Amino acid sequence: MGSAMKIVSYLPITLLFISNLALPADFSDDELIEIANEMNKTMPRVMDQFTVAKNVNAIPGLYLNYIYEIDIEEVITAAAQQNNTTVDELKIRLVSNFGSIDNFAKTAIDQLSIGAKNQYCTTPDDAELEPRYLAEKGVTTVHKFYNKNGIFVGSYSFDKNTCG
């Protein structure tokens, strides 16, 4: 299990992609729609060899939903190469350890969320574009991951209570 999970460290920790927008002191749903529309002009965006940011949606109630597609087969292939094993052997071990490849993928996203939270909570709050800035203004950012077939894999979110 541990060797297969090494690959999780290569998955994206997402920061906002907006750079040319003047951010207000407080946000409204309409302003988040404008931000999401601007962000979507750069989509899809390749985050790494496994993950593509597909789009961002503003949801009423001050939510920004980031939608990603993750290529679990590519994650497994890279992990097999890194661990000097075959893809088939690694899949057998993953099914043995997690019950299914889907459960492995969900666990990988759960592990990613731990690293993302650590980064989110420990990065100095010195830039308006930090996700914490949005959280302090009442915005919840939700990161949702789907596999190549459009099946939900997992998610994590940040809000003003994330760091305690």
Q: What is the pLDDT of residue 120?
A: 82
Per-residue pLDDT of 20-44, as tens digits, reads: 444 555 778 898 999 899 989 999 9
**DSSP H stretches of helix in 10-136:** 29-40, 72-82, 87-98, 101-122, 131-136
Q: What is the DSSP letter of 150?
A: S
Q: What is the pLDDT of residue 70?
A: 94
Q: What is the pLDDT of residue 103?
A: 94
Confirm whether 16 is domain-assigned.
no
Confirm whether 13 is domain-assigned.
no
Per-residue pLDDT of 95-153, as tens digits, reads: 999 999 999 999 999 998 998 888 888 877 655 446 677 888 888 999 999 999 999 99
Confirm whether 150 is domain-assigned.
yes
Per-residue pLDDT of 64-98, as tens digits, reads: 999 999 999 999 999 999 999 999 999 999 999 99
Give the number of other Cβ atoms within 10 Å of residue 124's Cβ: 7
DSSP labels, 8-24: GGGS--------SPPPP
Confirm whether 14 is domain-assigned.
no
Nearest to residue 66, comparing CAs of 42, 84, 96, 89? 42
CATH at 57: 3.30.300.250
Confirm whether 15 is domain-assigned.
no
Confirm whether 77 is domain-assigned.
no
The total domain count for the chain is: 1
**H or E segment at 5?**
helix 2-5
Residue range of the domain that includes 111:
2-7+24-70+82-158
Is 80 exceeded by the pLDDT of residue 164?
A: no
pTM, full prediction: 0.80
Q: What is the pLDDT of residue 130?
A: 60
Is 60 exceeded by the pLDDT of residue 8?
A: no
Is 80 exceeded by the pLDDT of residue 9?
A: no
